[in-house]
A and B are shown apart, each in its own frame.
Chain A
């Protein structure tokens, strides 16, 4: 400790760096801390002094937010939609990626181009027509419809990441399994899937975060309060409790906490997942 306290010339030169780092840490982390303190204080306390420390600590606000609004509904809607959509897009996407990476067939390049072109499609180009299509199919304002849309719009990224990884698995492994008598599907299930597990985990993480936070498709395709996903629910809750800042802060914390908790345990996986498309 003592050696670190003595600032040598080298440390002095690093002072601007350290100052900047501290400043940015405050900027990036400060807002969360602020919301965290507010979530444990009443609105009256907050308006008296917006930046005070919670005292007394109002834990009961979390129970109130959960029970006295539709928060639990929003939460379970989100959980259902995201889990089902991620599971589907993972299975469907990895099968397609396996097929593109492993087999030759007429039109292989065209199919690859078609799917990967989905990477640059703006959601705005889809959303109006999807609204019409789901209306036609009686899937408008249903969680099923939202799941289908989520799967369809996230196949491109999933296939892109998985195909790149699967293509690197040596062909010999597949030939060996084939000579050992395994069928095409068994080879996918027992060779590609286990060996590709790290990449699959990455896409699961990526899709999970993106869909958990997704707003645009949900806001267009869902209208019932009982169907709202968490982001829509928070918006709605904020709208109806506009002046009750303390309660909204508690609501925000309920949305933030699961992600922070998962992040605390799987930070590397989540970082890797989110940046998978950009890092090469």
Chain B
């Protein structure tokens, strides 16, 4: 049972003028897996360290189960943390690494033994208990780091980019392993990462941070579908969302966008909500998967077409990425299309745009227009 409440959390370093973390608010529900996502230097690790009690809080509060813990030292918060570098003690065996955290917590010897062995079996470390960290592979070290948090059976797990030191293949399997563990144990967790795939696949909710501030919080697909500003739009999704300059207008009571050399009717958009922007410049956002070589398969979707030229073809196997230059605006777009395309460099074709999937952003504030 643990609910973490972060309220107006700020961190200011004496040496820097801008605060490293500014007015961060969020609540992590009991048994929830919250991901803090953002580029490096956005303050997400600082938030984590303030929750852990490793970093003093400039202002604001961190509460666990309603109790403000700002003044509670790290060891008394009943939190376990998995570090990016794993922080395994090089001079101790795997067993001692796992047991180290229990020896200060009034846990009996037999109980320590039991818990360490249980965790080791669960994580597939049972054969390695007598080894030292330098004799382990990267994946094994990562599991020891995880095990060290699990044996503690804490109220809260904190993860600080725990997968970023693994190679790509191992990262995927370990990620799935972690998700499985999390579902079994169900401890409230906060997970810091800069990897959007990890965030999308692991988080119950994602909290996206940029330059010390929270930009958006929500469930993964919700955030993906409705990015709150251009930062989130570009940060989530690979390749990132295409952003183009355009103009908004109203025609016969329907919102239309002038861009890519054509006038595109925006369906599903009540013109009323867009009134303020009529006649003004906007940023048009289109995800690569909403662009098509021909009409999209599976039913009638409102389509707009624009003449374009292929600049680069990147066949990835399961799909192909196209970089295309629009004839009229010379904007470049990235499109994700089927793997069987016959298009080659320099080919011309009319690119199809799913107009229901168009995002609009205010160029002044970069916020989404809804």
A–B touching in complex (CB under 8 Å): yes
Where the two chains meet, the residues of A that have a C-beta atom closer than 8 Å to any C-beta of B are 170, 172-173, 175-182, 186, 191, 194-195, 197
With A182-B75, A194-B91 in contact, is A177–B83 under 8 Å at CB?
Answer: no
Q: How far is the CA of A175 from the CA of B51 in the complex (A)?
A: 13
**Distance A194 CA – B133 CA, assembled complex (angstroms):** 14
Give the residue of B75, B81, B84, B85 whose beta carbon is less than 8 angstroms from that of A181. Answer: B75
Given known pairs A172-B83, A172-B87, A194-B91, the reply for A179 and B100 (CB within 8 Å) is no
For A195, list chain B residues within 8 Å (CB).
Answer: 89-91
Residue-wise, chain B 45-82 has the 8 Å CB interface mask toward A (1 for contact) of: 00001001110000000000000000000111101110
The 5 closest A-B pairs by CB, nearest first: A181-B104, A180-B101, A172-B87, A181-B75, A176-B87
* CB < 8 Å A-B pair total: 55
Given A182-B104, A195-B89; 9 other pairs, CB 8 A cutoff: A172-B84, A172-B87, A175-B74, A177-B100, A179-B75, A179-B101, A181-B76, A194-B91, A194-B92
Q: Complex formed: what's the CA distance from A186 to B74 in Å?
A: 15
| Listed A/B pairs (9) with beta-carbon separation below 8 Å | A170-B87, A175-B52, A175-B54, A179-B53, A179-B75, A180-B100, A181-B101, A186-B104, A194-B92
Query: Which of A173, A175, A182, A186 interacts with B81 by CB under 8 Å?
Result: A175
Nearest B-chain residue to A196, judged by Cβ:
B91
Given contacts A179-B81, A180-B75, A181-B105, contact A191 B52 (CB under 8 A): no
Chain A residue contacts of B100, Cβ below 8 A: 177, 180
- Given contacts A195-B90, A197-B91, whether A176 and B104 have CB atoms under 8 Å apart is no
Indicate which residue in A175, A186, A191 contacts B83 across the interface (CB closer than 8 Å).
A175
The CA of A77 and the CA of B81, in the complex, are separated in Å by: 52
For B92, what are the chain A residues with a Cβ–Cβ distance below 8 Å? Answer: 194
CA distance A179 to B156 in the complex (A): 12
Residues of the A chain whose Cβ atoms lie less than 8 Å from the Cβ of B89: 173, 191, 194-195
Chief secondary structure at chain A's binding surface:
helix
Inter-chain contact A176/B75, CB cutoff 8 Å: no
Q: Please report the total number of B residues contacting A with Cβ < 8 Å.
A: 26
Q: How far is the CB of B87 from chain A (nearest CB, A)?
A: 4
Q: Which B residues touch A197, using CB under 8 A?
A: 91
Q: Which of A179, A181, A186 has the most CB of B within 10 A?
A: A179
A179–B74 CB distance below 8 A: yes
What chain B residues lie within 8 Å of A191 (beta carbons)?
89
Decide: A176 near B91, CB < 8 A? Known: A181-B101, A182-B75.
Answer: no
Contact in complex: B85, A170 (CB < 8 Å): yes
Cβ-defined partner of B52 (8 Å) among A170, A179, A181, A186: A179
User: B52 and A172: CB pair below 8 A?
Assistant: no
Tell me which residues across on chain A come within 8 A of B86, comparing CB atoms. 172
**Which partner residue on chain A sits nearest B90 by CB separation?**
A195
Residues of A within 8 A of B77 (CB): 179
Contacts of B79 in A (CB 8 A): 179
Q: Which of the listed residues A175, A176, A195, A197 has the most CB atoms from chain B within 10 Å of its own CB?
A: A176
| Bound CA–CA A191/B100 (angstroms) | 11
Residue of B54, B84, B85, B90 near A179 (CB, 8 A) is B54
Q: Once the chains are docked, how many angstroms separate the CA of A175 from the CA of B52? A: 9
CB-CB under 8 A from A194, the residues of chain B are 89, 91-92
Closest CB-CB distance, A264 to chain B, in whole Å? Answer: 28
Instruction: For A182, give the chain B residue with the smallest CB separation.
Output: B104
User: What residues of chain A lie closer than 8 Å to B83, measured between beta carbons?
Assistant: 172, 175-176
Residues in B whose Cβ lies below 8 Å from that of A182: 75, 104
Query: Shortest CB–CB separation between residue B152 and chain A, in angstroms?
Result: 8
Chain B residues positioned under 8 Å from A173 (CB to CB): 87, 89
Q: Which single residue of chain B is at the shortest CB-CB distance from A178? A: B74
- Would you give the shortest CB distance from B160 to chain A, in whole angstroms? 8
Shortest A189–chain B CB gap in Å is 12
| Given A180-B100, A181-B75, A182-B75, A175-B105 contact (CB < 8 Å) | no
Partner of B54, one of A178, A180, A186: A178
Give the nearest-CB partner of A177 in chain B: B100
A176-B90 in contact given A181-B104, A181-B105, A182-B104 (Cβ < 8 Å): no
Contacts of B152 in A (CB 8 A): 180
Contacts of A175 on B, CB cut-off 8 Å?
49, 52, 54, 74, 81, 83, 87
Q: Which residues of A contact B74 (CB under 8 A)?
A: 175, 178-179
Residues of A within 8 A of B148 (CB): 176
**Which residues of chain A have C-beta atoms less than 8 A from B49's C-beta?**
175
